[in-house]
Amino acid sequence: MKLSVLDQSVSLAGSTEGAAIRDTVSLAEHCEQLGYSRFWVSEHHGLPTIIGSAPEIVMAAIAARTQRIRIGSAGVMLPHYSALKVAEQFRVLEALAPGRIDLGVGRAPGGDMRTARALNPNAMAAADHFPEQVRDLHAWTSHGTHAGITAHPLGAHAPEIWILGSSDYGAQLAAHFGLPYAFAYFFTDGQGAEQAIDLYRRLYQPSERHPKPHATLCIWALVAETDEEAAHHALSRDRWRIDRARGVLGPLQSPEVIAAAGFSAADDAGLAPMRAKAFVGSAATVKGKIERLAAEFELDELVVNTWAHDPEVRRLSYALLAGAFALPAA
């Protein structure tokens, strides 16, 4: 069983947004030592909680400080940009870290539509042309030259493109182009995952690089020494989920502050379904849940996203999980 990491550079109450970016780079070094296969970083815009807005820059910093772990975007929100420019950026990254670059792309704006239009005045129309962008990006990253234009630098290796999504749309597109597919299980609490993965596998058209379908799920998990301790640290994300539903966003709060304030009965009722399905607990508890999920979807790799107000709690979570699955530590 392979495990990988998705990090979103989450801002923390009492700290700075710059510290969140630096912590992402540091966490990548930590996860490489623990034996994780990939380290992916996300792209969001105009949000006070998830502040990683330029994954390609963070990836370059990670590439300079790691040696083995694959580094990727999860993902570049392609409608904001030119497919050629993205291909060039990731070919540069591939030159810096040969054979280690994943180019995950998505269609969603990664923020509100006002911000999307500021990034690209034609944002709505661009989203409609996402399949054509993926086609062009695939050609430029795989072959270098496409439509009479060459994306430099050329080299022996090419970034591996992944399609990211949380609906049937991305699954079908990935199947059509013969590309790996990652479903954002943590974003939907699993809703739609079974249908999307089934569609992907049934419709898959083999490609030169990927003769067989390659799917994964991105889950949210938090591991601690005990189930109770893990549930305590998960309060930070619980509070964020409740606040987000009310349109209130901000840095991640500490579990101690949240525990002191408590939740209303309505909030607890709203959180109950999410908590029942959450991958939160001791290493043994979470390992069992992950193994059951992997067996259900016939997967040999999962991507783990962990939020915690204390960076050391997050590092311990990844360490305990790596130990439970006996990942090949450096």
pLDDT for res 242:
94
CA–CA distances in Å: residue 40 to residues 70, 101, 227: 8, 10, 27
Amino acid of residue 156: A
pLDDT for res 49:
96
Query: At 221, is the pLDDT very low, low, confident or very high (cuts 50, 70, 90)?
Result: very high
For a pLDDT cut of 90, what percent of the chain falls above it? 90
Q: Does the pLDDT at position 216 exceed 80?
A: yes
Amino acid of residue 140: W
pLDDT for res 125:
83
pLDDT tens digits along 274-304 = 898 899 999 999 999 999 999 999 999 999 9
For a pLDDT cut of 70, what percent of the chain falls above it? 100
Q: Does the pLDDT at position 330 exceed 90?
A: no
Q: Does the pLDDT at position 252 exceed 90?
A: yes
In three-state secondary structure terms, 50 is strand
pLDDT tens digits along 257-272 = 999 999 999 999 999 9
For the entire predicted model, the pTM comes to: 0.96
Helix axes 130-143, 83-96, angle to 10 degrees: 40
Phi, psi for residue 83 in degrees, rounded to 5: -60, -35
User: Which of 13, 20, 22 is closest to 50 using CA atoms?
Assistant: 20
- Strands 145-146 and 149-150 turn out to be antiparallel
Burial of 270 (0-12, 13-18, 19+ CB in 10 A): middle
pLDDT tens digits along 1-44 = 999 999 999 999 999 999 999 999 999 999 999 999 999 999 99
Q: Report CA 7 to chain centroid distance, whole Å.
A: 6
pLDDT for res 169:
95
Residue 132's CB is within 10 A of a number of other CB atoms, namely 11
Phi, psi for residue 90 in degrees, rounded to 5: -80, -20
Domain ranges for the chain, please list them. 2-221+301-308
Mean pLDDT of 242-263: 95
CATH for 2-221+301-308, options being 3.90.1150.10, 3.40.50.720, 3.20.20.30, 3.40.605.10: 3.20.20.30
Query: At 232, is the pLDDT very low, low, confident or very high (cuts 50, 70, 90)?
Result: very high
Contact between 181 and 171 under an 8 Å Cβ cutoff? The reply is yes
Q: Report CA 146 to chain centroid distance, whole Å.
A: 29
pLDDT tens digits along 71-129 = 999 989 999 999 999 999 999 999 999 999 999 999 987 678 888 888 888 877 888 89
pLDDT tens digits along 124-177 = 788 889 999 999 999 999 999 999 999 999 999 899 999 999 999 999 999 999
The DSSP output letter for 103 is E
Contact between 76 and 93 under an 8 Å Cβ cutoff? The reply is no
Residue 298's CB is within 10 A of a number of other CB atoms, namely 9
pLDDT for res 67:
97
Q: For residue 229, what are its two tokens?
A: 């301790």
